[in-house]
Structure 1
Amino acid sequence: MTSDAAAASKNLGTGIRLRLSLMMFLQFFVWGAWFVTMGTFLGQGLGVSGSEISLAYLAQSLGAILAPLIIGLIADQFFSAQKILGVLHTAGAVLLWFAGDVSEFGLFFPLILGYMILYMPTLALVNSVSFRQMRDPERQFPSVRVLGTIGWIVAGLVIGWLGWEQGQLPLTFKMAAVASLILGIFSFTLPATPPTRRGEKSSVREMLGLEALSLLKSRSYLVFFLASIAICVPLAFYYNFTNLFLNEVGVEGAAAVQSLGQVSEVLFLLVLPFLLKRFGVKLTLAIGMAAWALRYVCFAFGDSGGMFWLLIVGLLLHGICYDFFFVAGQIYTNRFAGDRFRSSAQGLITLATYGVGILIGSLVSGPIVDAFATADGHQWRDIWVIPAIIAAVVLVLFLLLFKDRSTRASATVGLEAEVTTLEAPGTSLPVPRDTNPER
């Protein structure tokens, strides 16, 4: 095969690319349509405490913890990923519709908990559907995934343009419900993504997707896994309270302004393949973690007056924070897992980040925000310094402990030159060659 023919064989067809891109757009439009402003909806609309706001955001963690079970038990075993995606989004639309109508936290929480149990597995499913159509995910996935970021941006701009933060935030749940129903129906038209182990006799461990835990036998992946959990503790502060913070300090159209973070995410997502190839996984992940610490410093000292530019810088850092750690981590996980347990591995990393990490972060952030509550708001400078310190500590520990030399993400070289494949019963996982005599 000539080099031109080989390159052509790696290209996604236009029809498939468009469908995958629309899937990503709707996937993150649905999430961004209500998730960003939920803290303000609860704090100013329902008058709940910071701890209750964190409890509502904690629902995503419970959903993420169940995600590997749903993916491993169903997507890898029995039903096509795109069909499961359609069912989950259609059912989720119903719960979102009713969530916008409630006026008490006791009624709201079970609805949003049920929704997140349905939604969080879809994050791994859309990745699985995408990766299964790609021969060169490191090069092809970012250009598809970027439409998800654009979807999140559009949701924020719509909320800001319509002025829903001024007492009409229940409408955000209605908008998300309609989009979720559209995505649910559209999912059945996506490229077929059949289960990878249909008809095989499987143990309970295999059925639950726990074979992906074999990845943790590698020291490099274990450190990455633990760092993913730890960096999500400060991430919870951002998800749970940034919109409330911006509204309290007087930023007009806070949701729209906040979408600047996703604009930067688009730009940095496009350069991610080049950065991975040039600097490798370790430095890319470290840059992402460093940006988390810096952004919280910007939030701590910014305001809606003369220091407004610091808030803008903090929001624009979101592209580096998210792309250079989370998207790069998804690509790293995809490479490390191989074809056989790709869906389970994506579910596992969802468990680590949006599950365990956000769970811990939500439990920590709520009481901290309540501790700095005042009669007319919160002492935000004191609040933001805390996640900045946490992110800095995680960064230092990651730089000291992550020793993998096999993860330079080159689209042409891959892992072959620097890993040895060890065959374990029922698995075929690339395990880094042990080059550290002290390990």
Structure 2
Amino acid sequence: MNTKIRIKLSVMMFLEFFIWGAWFVTLGTFLKSNLHASGSEAASVFSTQSWGAIIAPFIIGLIADRYFNAEKILGILHLIGAFLMYQMYVSDDVSIFYSYVLGYMILYMPTLALVNSVSFNQMNDPEKEFANIRVWGTIGWILAGLSISFLFHWDSAEGVTQGLLKNTFLLAGIAALILGLFSFSLPKTPPKVAATEKIKIGDIIGLDALKLLKDKNFAVFFISSILICIPLAFYYQNAHPFLTEAGVENPTGKMAIGQISEALFLLLIPVFFTRFGFKKTILVGMLAWAIRYVLFAYGNGSDLSFMLIIGIALHGICYDFFFVSGQIYTNSKAGEKYKSAAQGLITLATYGVGMLIGFAIAGWITDNYRINEKTVNWEMVWIIPAGIAFGVFLLFALLFNDKSKTEIEKEEVSAI
């Protein structure tokens, strides 16, 4: 890959995740302070990410993979997205805002696959080259958070009171406009499938991979993946409002610690896999979810603020050790025939079904554990997902066995 293309792909990744990080992190606080949304209304807005994840494969499979270059679809989706971001910026009613954010997420979620497609098309050895490009996405997310907190101060107590968080949508919209125009200069990435080839809906959403569920261990992993997304939804929906109410200064910038942690722990996954195997690695990720929420439940923004910072920093273990490890495990179990289908099915199950359930539960819990109209009982809001995460941890620990049948038989023989 020549330097010019490498720079273009890096800029593309940077902007792709800068856009998401510029508005999604502070969304919960914006909904509460600017639009006075209830927990259930906030849950509906956050669930648009899940609906986008469910619909995305159809946009990619039915349109992008068959009729148009990926970079052109990427450009069009981000240009429309920039318009919708502006509409979110000027919205002052949660129901109207919901319609715009739903439209936006249906368009944005497919772009996550499109930027990967554009990148992979330029690589001879994606396993070695992709990480160096993808890391710029994490940097973009981090820089968005740091800008909101330390450059613009929109998430300060005064900024939240003045309603300045709505400016995050303007920032994201400008970045979307830039990426939309920039996308047309990206390397050409033609369709992978002939337009005349017969469409199979099962292939698009990965239904062929359901055959893998005949394997008990994969079925346990699959169910655990859906269930662990319930506590994950609590973090996305409630972390920023909680940190803001707890009096943590520059909460958006401090939440970027989670992305820094994610980048660092990503490098440790091969070490954990080699030394401890898949089961122990993924169990560490599950347990980290329970620990972080206990830290959130009993920490505060003053003398125990270090507990909140540790909870944020655990994001790398929570996300990488479960989701990235899970993707690697799925890839190894699927085989060549079902690799794409299996990854698509896991994405649909987690970011689609699992998160959809999680956001609904998080909204219900937030509404039902209020001290008064303005104050939430955050201790209970975090203890409940901690309990769910620990329950999934026990389920996986007891039912999943990553040893092969041959290894079990050898152990039984040696025991005799």
CA–CA separation in structure 1 for the residues paired with 2:93 and 2:195: 47
CA–CA separation in structure 1 for the residues paired with 2:65 and 2:335: 13
Could you tell me the TM-score, scaled by structure 1's length? 0.82
Q: Which amino acid aligns with 1:158?
A: S
Task: Summarize deviations over 1:83-134 as a string: whole Å, max 9, x none.
Answer: 3222222211110111011111121010001101111122233334444545
- Secondary structure of the residue aligned to 1:100 is helix
Q: Which amino acid aligns with 2:170?
A: K
CA–CA separation in structure 2 for the residues paired with 1:436 and 1:371: 47
Q: After alignment, is 83-92 or 302-311 more displaced?
A: 83-92
Match of 2:400?
Answer: 402
Q: Percent identity?
A: 53
Match of 1:378?
Answer: 376
Could you tell me the TM-score, scaled by structure 2's length? 0.87
Q: 161, 172, 191: which one pairs with 1:176?
A: 172
Q: Given the alignment of the two structures, is residue 301 of structure 1 paired with residue 298 of structure 2, yes or no?
A: yes
CA–CA separation in structure 2 for the residues paired with 1:147 and 1:215: 36
CA pair 13-275 structure 1, distance change in 2 beyond 3 A = farther
Q: After alignment, is 242-251 or 211-220 more displaced?
A: 211-220
In the alignment, structure 1 segments of 5+ residues that lack a partner are 1-11, 407-432
Q: Which amino acid aligns with 2:111?
A: T
Superposed CA RMSD: 2.7
CA–CA separation in structure 1 for the residues paired with 2:344 and 2:72: 17
Q: 112, 116, 127: which one pairs with 1:123?
A: 112
CA pair 240-159 structure 1, distance change in 2 beyond 3 A = same
CA pair 221-23 structure 1, distance change in 2 beyond 3 A = farther
Q: Given the alignment of the two structures, is residue 164 of structure 1 paired with residue 154 of structure 2, yes or no?
A: yes
Task: Summarize deviations over 1:337-358 as a string: whole Å, max 9, x none.
Answer: 6777766554433322221111
Q: Which amino acid aligns with 1:189?
A: S
Q: Which amino acid aligns with 2:59?
A: I
1:137 is displaced (CA, Å) by 4.5
- Residues 150-229 of structure 1 correspond to what in structure 2 (within 5 A)? 150-161=139-150, 162-165=152-155, 166=159, 167-198=163-194, 201-205=197-201, 208-214=204-210, 216-217=212-213, 219=215, 220-229=217-226
Q: Given the alignment of the two structures, is residue 393 of structure 1 paired with residue 383 of structure 2, yes or no?
A: no
Match of 2:87?
Answer: 98
Q: After alignment, is 106-115 or 163-172 more displaced?
A: 163-172
CA pair 70-27 structure 1, distance change in 2 beyond 3 A = same
- Secondary structure of the residue aligned to 1:236 is helix
For the Cα contact (< 8 Å) 1:129–1:193, is it kept in 2? yes
CA–CA separation in structure 2 for the residues paired with 1:365 and 1:296: 13
For the Cα contact (< 8 Å) 2:145–2:255, is it kept in 1? yes
1:15 is displaced (CA, Å) by 4.2
Q: Which amino acid aligns with 1:308?
A: S
Match of 2:412?
Answer: none
Q: 20, 42, 59: which one pairs with 2:48?
A: 59
1:214 is displaced (CA, Å) by 4.6
CA pair 402-77 structure 1, distance change in 2 beyond 3 A = farther
Q: Which of the pair is proportionally richer in helix?
A: 2
CA pair 100-347 structure 1, distance change in 2 beyond 3 A = farther
CA pair 94-111 structure 1, distance change in 2 beyond 3 A = same
CA pair 278-145 structure 1, distance change in 2 beyond 3 A = farther
In the alignment, structure 2 segments of 5+ residues that lack a partner are 410-416
